[in-house]
Structure 1
Amino acid sequence: MTEPAAGPRRGRVCFTSQVRPDRLEEYRAAHAAVWPEMLEALRDAGWRDYHLYLRDDGLLVGILETDDYDAAQAGMAATEVNARWQAEMGGFFVDDGNPDEGFVILDEIFHLESQLRAAGLPTTPRR
């Protein structure tokens, strides 16, 4: 029996990856000054409110918003700047291959504001 095709992943997307612990400072430095054309490509491909968090052991957590994650990934894969960026970043990661193809997507299991709204409660604090 074939499973039904899943629809596009929309809204917030959270992923993990693993940076080599001996390359953390270089990785941080690379992200302190991302190439302007890479920033534009991410924006134009539909990546919004994109954050990266890095733990001291190399665990990388990314969070972004998008209307369609698969389309946003495909949009980036089609750009020349992404190919150059992935080649530059490849040596920072534990796994081989393009770093953006090795993301482990996490399921969102809790969102405070969504549950507050569902419970009929205000999402802003009472004062």
Structure 2
Amino acid sequence: MSELRRYCMHAQVDPARLDEYRRRHAAVWPEMLEALAESGWHNYSLFLRPDGLLIAYVESEDLAAAQAAMAATEVNARWQAEMSDFFVGLDSTPDVGFQPIEEVFNLETQLAAVPARKEN
């Protein structure tokens, strides 16, 4: 496997539907979970603020390829159809409508670049 890259994105969930959004994600369909894993989604997490700001974090060799692989699955079409109504301000389905967020710091990356320190 090639090196995994980190991706972070955001979207806005309708604040009136937060409880239902949480319920849906507490028990994602097993076939959806399997499709995500098989399509190259790793360490995928969603974080939700009380005002509906949703932050998605995922690691993948190639996010565009992982998204395309998911788009080719029947289970993703069903899931996106059910989830679309939860979001505000998206021009497409949630799986591709998330807005990317630039990574500006990663502890492990910077630690790996620090020359070895001498122990006293």
TM-score by length of 1: 0.85
Query: 1:80, 1:59 → 2: CA distance?
Result: 28
Q: Which deviations, in whole Å up to 9, do the C-alpha atoms of 1:71-125 show, x marking residues without a partner?
A: 0000000000000000000110003431112110111110011111111258xxx
Q: Which runs of 4+ in 1 moved over 2 A?
A: none
Alignment of 1:108-123 (within 5 A): 108-120=103-115
- Pick aligned residue for 1:95 from 75, 79, 89: 89
* Distance change (3 Å), C-alpha of 1:73 and 1:30: same
Aligned residues: 113
Query: 2:62, 2:44 → 1: CA distance?
Result: 14
Q: Is residue 95–residue 102 contact of structure 1 (8 Å, CA) maintained in 2?
A: no
Query: 1:65, 1:120 → 2: CA distance?
Result: 27
Within the alignment, does 1:77 sit opposite 2:71 as a pair? yes
Deviates more, 1:99-108 or 1:14-23: 99-108
Counterpart in the other structure of 1:28: 22
| SS of equivalent to 1:34 | coil
Counterpart in the other structure of 2:37: 43
RMSD: 1.3
TM-score by length of 2: 0.90
Deviation at 1:60, TM superposition (A): 0.3
Within the alignment, does 1:54 sit opposite 2:48 as a pair? yes
Letter matched to residue 44 of structure 1:
E
Q: Is residue 38–residue 81 contact of structure 1 (8 Å, CA) maintained in 2?
A: yes
Identity in percent: 58
* Structure 2 residues without counterparts, runs of 5 or longer: none
* Structure 1 residues without counterparts, runs of 5 or longer: 1-9, 123-127
Letter matched to residue 24 of structure 1:
L
